[in-house]
Structure 1
C-alpha cells in the first residue's frame, strides 16, 4: 500500500511527491513520481518489483521412506511473483503440476519395487519483470524392501540417499526402534551394483546406529546395500551415488 505525502504542483500530468512510503513494516521510503489526475485518490495499491527473484530446484529423496519431493530454494516470499511446477516421470509417463515453493513427486511414480527412472522437473518463475525457467532431471529408484517385509520388522536406512562422499547407516525394527545386534563382530554392511555382479564396492561393519562410512571411492550409480549378522536375517535397500 503506497501513501503519497507532501503533494506538490502538477507538471504535465505528473504529481511530484517528496516522499513515498513503499513499506510500513519495516518503514521504507522512496522519492517516486506518481501519474495521477485531480480526481484520483492519493492512496493506491501497486507492488514495486525490480527483477525476477532467483530460485534453484533442490530435491529430497528417501527411497525406502517413499519421500520424493522438489523444492524451490530461494526467497520464502517474493512480491507479486508466481512459481509453477511441471514434473514428468519416465516410467509411467504421467505428469503433475502445482504452484508454490514445493512439489510432491510421489503421485506420478510407479508403485513397484526396484524401479529405476528419471523425473524431469520444470520450475517457472514469473512476475511483471519477466519469466525465468529452471529444469532438473532427477534419477530415482524405488525401494526393494518394504518396511518389515519378511525381515522380522527390521529395515536398513541409509542417509543421505542420493549420497555423494559419505553415508550414515541405521538398522531399525518396528519402524522406529534402533536394532542392537548381539553379534560380537557387529553388523556386516556390503554394497553391490544394483545391476548385478559379484563385485563388492564396500565391505565393512556397523557397530553403532548412525555410523558414518566413506563412499568417495564408489562411482556414480545405483547400488544395493545389504546388512547381515548372526542375529539379523539379511536385509537390503537401494542407494544412489550422485555427484
Structure 2
C-alpha cells in the first residue's frame, strides 16, 4: 500500500534518514520503534510530504507521492495524528473535530463522522462545547484521534500517542487502536512503549540512527533481541 524505497531525508544540510526502505501493508498495523533521535518522526513527515526527499521514493498504491502537498493527503485517504496532540485550544471540541473533514469530499459526511467519533470517545461528546484547551492530556489525545478519523482514512499514521499519558488512558488508547485495526484500517504507529507497540502490531520496524536495523513480523519478534538492538550504540 505504502512503499518507501531508498529514502533519504532531513532538515536542510542535516540528513536524518539513510536509505530507508519499508512496506506498509493494507489492513495491517505496522509499528516503527527506536530510541530518541532515530528518525521516527522524520520518517512519518517524509511520508506525509512535510519534508522533501533528497533521495528515494514514497509510493501509495504504486504511485509516487512526490509533489503531492500535505494538505491533499486526506483526499488520498492518508491522515497523520501528530505527536503532542496539536489541538486548537481556543476552539471547541466539536469545531476541532469538524476541521478533520475540511476537504470538499468529506464535508457531506462530517456530521455522521462526528457522531462516530463521539460514539468511540464518549468523553468528547460530554465536552463537545468546551474549548479544547480545557481538556486533560488523555482527552486531547482522544480529540486528536477523533479529528484524524473525520476523513475516514484508509491509512492512519499516529506519532507517539501514549506520550505523557496515565496508564489507564494508555490502556484505553490501545483498545481503540485494536478496534480500528479490527475494522480493517491500515495503521502506522510510532510508539515509545515497545511491548505495547509490538503487542498490537502485525509488523515491526526498528530504526537506529536513521536506518532500518530490524524488520520482522510482530508475532516472531524476540523482545530480548529487540531491546538489545534498541539500546545498541
Tell whether the structures are fold-level matches, with TM greater than 0.5.
no
Instruction: Choose between structure 1 and 2 for higher RCO, CA contacts under 8 A separated by at least 6 residues.
Output: 2
Q: TM-score, normalised by structure 2?
A: 0.28
Q: TM-score, normalised by structure 1?
A: 0.28
Of the two, which has the highest radius of gyration?
A: 1
User: Which structure's residues are more often helix, by fraction?
Assistant: 2
User: Which structure's residues are more often strand, by fraction?
Assistant: 1
